Amino acid sequence: MNIVLRTVAGKRCTTGAVDNHSELIKEWFHYLGRFVVGDAFPFLGWLDLGGHQKTMKELALELDSMVTKWLDEHRKKRAHGDTTTETDFMDVMISVTEANGLVGDYDTDTIIKATCMTLVAGGADTTSVMLTWALSLLLNNRDPLRKAQEELDTHVGKDRQVNESDLINLVYLEAVVKEALRLYPAAFLGSPRAFSEDCTIAGYHVPKGTWLFINMWKLHRDPNIWSDPCEFRPERFLNPNHKEVDVKGTDFELIPFGAGRKSCPGTRIALQMLHIVLATLLQNFEMSTPNGAPVDMTASVGLTNDKATLPGYQEKEKEKEKKEEEEEEQKQKKKQQKEQKEKEKEKEKQKQQQKQQQKQQEQELEKEKEKEKEQQKEKEK
Ligand code: HEM
């Protein structure tokens, strides 16, 4: 996340600090991948069951104010004459929009903020999630771990640090990364797409507007393509069968970065980071788990399939659930109080009406009496 934030907006990742970008972005990501009832049943959307939409809207406002602040800082810096160096992506976007203008339905600021946030969203935790899975897989599969370290010993040795020029020789490490991307693709549902017109696929009518998610998890574990599909076997990418299979979107049996025009624009930097960080860790550390216990491979719910058993993850999830339950309770209480108040109002109204009716009846009785009296007087006359 640090690399992405620095590249996009010149910001550092500051977990635990006051200006907490990473926590906010993580929470945003959690909700981006969350299923809300209104997605499947739009007519129930207004109910906002569980209150997720409300939380998402609040979060979106917080994120927008964070990016607006970044943009203001960038513009101020430029206003003070500091335009000599374009330090990050936001600076480049400001320059491009100032030079060429933008034609479209949105204003310049919205376009800059949305483009930057798309990059942050795409790159924030995907690479770190992938590294976590790759390391966990290696810890649960000691033979591939040993082979990857032996390869590093052979081609790099222990006297210097591995660097990017070594990567071309680390073919086993490349196979490890591919196998991790096959088994645990970080964004396994890709970006959602929507049908722009009605169409028919394999005899099924798909109406315009339908959302499409591609389930890479299933695709990457298809037993018709992969032998022992759920096993971690990097060697499969060294065998003639799958040696040529690439991850960049041209071989549809393995598309961890998606495919087509909407495929991941961060593929190159992500692969570079995955290889160099993994190689550095394997070269410098002996990896093991407490008492040799296997790593729990349960995945979490969300747009990125984070490990559900990262330190503190479950506590945070429980806290979130508790907060959601409390919010729901508050909501119900408020609803009940409102209903109670309305009932009391209704009762008061009915009382008033009864009083009014009683008064009218009394007045009518009074009139009747008056009338009778007058009639009596008339008769006496
Ligand atoms: C291992 C790391 C990564 C994985 C597995 C990954 C995977 C993906 C996938 C599957 C998609 C959707 C593609 C589709 O639906 O066809 C995507 C989109 C995207 N990714 Fe990545 N990504 C990674 C790293 C990065 C990085 C480092 C960046 C930015 C520097 C990035 C930026 C984006 C953006 C902006 C999109 C949205 C593209 C669009 O909607 O047009 N990704 N990524």
Residues 287 and 320 in one domain: no
Residue 109 domain-assigned?
Answer: yes
CATH number at residue 224: 1.10.630.10
HSE-CB for 60 with a 13 A CA cutoff: 10
CA 377 vs CA 304, 365, 367, 374: distances in Å: 96, 18, 15, 5
Q: Which residues form the pocket of ligand 1, taking CB atoms under 6 Å from any ligand atom?
A: 4, 118-119, 122-123, 126-127, 130, 185-187, 190-191, 256-259, 262-266, 269-270, 274
Residue 339 domain-assigned?
Answer: yes
Burial 297-335 (b: 16+ CB within 10 A, else e): eebbebbbbbbeeeeeeeeeeeeeeeeeeeeeeeeeeee
Ligand 1 atom closest to the CA of 188, numbered from 1: 10
Residue 151 domain-assigned?
Answer: yes
- Rounded to whole angstroms, the Cα distance separating 44 from 215 reads 26
Residue 28 domain-assigned?
Answer: yes
AA letter at 102? L
Greater pLDDT, 110 or 299: 110
Number of Cβ within 10 Å of residue 214's Cβ equals 17
22 Cα–ligand 1 center, Å: 18
Least confident of 50-54, 120-124, 352-356, 359-363: 50-54
**pLDDT average, residue stretch 91-103:** 83
The contacts of residue 162 (CB under 8 Å, 6+ apart) are 152, 156, 170, 276, 279, 280, 283
Residue 371 domain-assigned?
Answer: no
Of 126, 127, 211, 246, the one to substitute when testing ligand 1's pocket (max ligand atoms within 8 A of C-beta) is: 126
Read off the pTM.
Answer: 0.75
Residue with tokens 């500051």: 14
What is the per-residue pLDDT for 249? Answer: 92
| Res 85 pLDDT > 80 | no
Residue with CA closest to ligand 1 atom 27: 123
| Res 17 pLDDT > 60 | no
Residues 242 and 154 in one domain: yes
137: nearest Cα among 101, 98, 177, 190:
177
Domain range holding 326?
311-353
Least confident of 59-68, 97-106, 283-292, 336-345: 97-106
What is the per-residue pLDDT for 1? Answer: 76
Residue 349 domain-assigned?
Answer: yes
Of 193, 246, 257, the one to substitute when testing ligand 1's pocket (max ligand atoms within 8 A of C-beta) is: 257
| Res 22 pLDDT > 60 | yes
| Tokens (6 digits) for 158 | 């222990």
Greater pLDDT, 282 or 99: 282
Residue 222 domain-assigned?
Answer: yes
- Rounded to whole angstroms, the Cα distance separating 193 from 123 reads 19
Residues 178 and 72 in one domain: no
Least confident of 152-161, 178-187, 264-273, 327-336: 327-336
What is the per-residue pLDDT for 18? Answer: 44
Residues 158 and 87 in one domain: no
